[in-house]
Structure formats: structure tokens, C-alpha cells
């Protein structure tokens, strides 16, 4: 069994989540299990992801359909608690070895939005067992989290074509 690694897909380009999900599917195709914990995604339709179960399980802890900036103070606090529940779940999954791969989708943006601290994300990563792979995605760079990573990929668009659809 290979030693598990920590990978980061970050940057302004698109495809970070797709790359992470591709790795989870590859893990599942090898007879292993993957958990995907999504943060900051709003109420996206994830029905297609449930077709990957039981090998790839997707978890979402957010309950609001609106962006964080549009929420009132009470809703922001509720959303923050939901995010904390997601981080606690991720840590528990790592401590107990429930999965061979854990994807923390959009987790890097939690610090900028004030939903979590870099220390909380580090605490989750420190719970990783020797053989579990962890993938983090998001737009932002977190220096101490990046120091823990084995692989960091900055997804930067080289060409962006905008198309007007009428």
C-alpha cells in the first residue's frame, strides 16, 4: 500500500473540482473508497454524483441556497456552524480511516470568507492517516496548509474566450 499524499488544486482557473472528482473516481475504480466534502457550493444539483455511490460519497453541510454575502447575521452564523460540522466530519473520517481518499472541495476559500481558520484546516489535515490521500481545492493560497502538501497545482487560465449567448 502506498503512502497517502496531500494534493492541492488552486487558482483562478476552472477545473479544480473536476480534477479532484476525477481522482476520486480513479480511486473508486481501483476498488477503494472516496469521500467528497463540498463547501461553499450553494445548492448545486449533485444528483449525478449520487450515481457514484457507494464507492464515492458526497457530503454537503451547507443549507442555504444564497451566497454568504447575501445572508443576514443569523443566517451567517448558522451557515458557519454548518461549515464547522463539515470540517468536524472530515476530521472524523480521517481519524477513523473511513475512506481511502478525502476531497475537501472549495475548503481553501473558507478562511477568506471568515468561515474557518487556517488552523482548523491544518487540524483536519493532521488527522490524516499514513495511507489516506487528501485533495483540497479552492481559489486561495494558505501558506501553512501549502507547506503540508506533497503536490500543489496552480490552475491558471491561459486563454479565456467569452461567448455571448442570445
Q: pTM of this prediction?
A: 0.89
Cell of 54: 457507494
Predicted local confidence at residue 157, as pLDDT: 87
- 74-131 residue pLDDT tens: 888 888 899 999 999 999 999 999 999 999 999 999 999 888 999 999 999 999 999 9
Specify the DSSP class assigned to residue 36: E
Q: Quick one: residue 70, left, alpha or beta (phi over 0 = left, psi -120 to 50 = alpha)?
A: alpha
Amino acid at each position: 500500500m502506498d503512502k497517502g499524499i496531500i494534493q492541492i488544486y488552486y487558482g483562478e482557473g476552472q477545473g479544480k473540482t473536476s480534477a479532484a472528482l476525477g481522482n476520486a473516481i480513479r480511486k473508486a475504480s481501483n476498488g477503494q473508497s472516496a469521500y467528497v466534502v463540498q463547501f461553499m457550493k450553494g445548492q448545486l444539483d449533485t444528483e449525478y454524483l449520487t450515481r457514484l455511490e457507494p464507492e464515492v460519497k458526497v457530503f454537503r453541510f451547507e443549507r442555504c441556497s444564497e451566497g454568504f454575502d447575501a445572508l443576514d447575521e443569523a443566517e451567517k452564523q448558522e451557515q458557519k456552524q454548518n461549515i464547522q460540522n463539515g470540517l468536524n466530519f472530515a476530521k472524523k473520517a480521517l481519524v477513523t480511516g473511513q475512506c481511502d481518499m478525502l476531497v475537501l472541495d472549495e475548503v481553501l476559500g473558507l478562511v477568506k470568507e471568515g468561515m474557518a481558520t487556517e488552523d482548523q484546516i491544518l487540524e483536519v489535515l493532521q488527522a490524516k492517516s499514513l495511507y489516506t490521500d487528501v485533495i483540497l481545492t479552492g481559489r486561495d493560497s494558505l501558506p501553512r496548509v501549502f507547506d503540508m502538501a506533497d503536490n500543489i497545482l496552480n490552475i491558471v487560465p491561459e486563454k479565456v474566450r467569452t461567448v455571448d449567448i442570445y
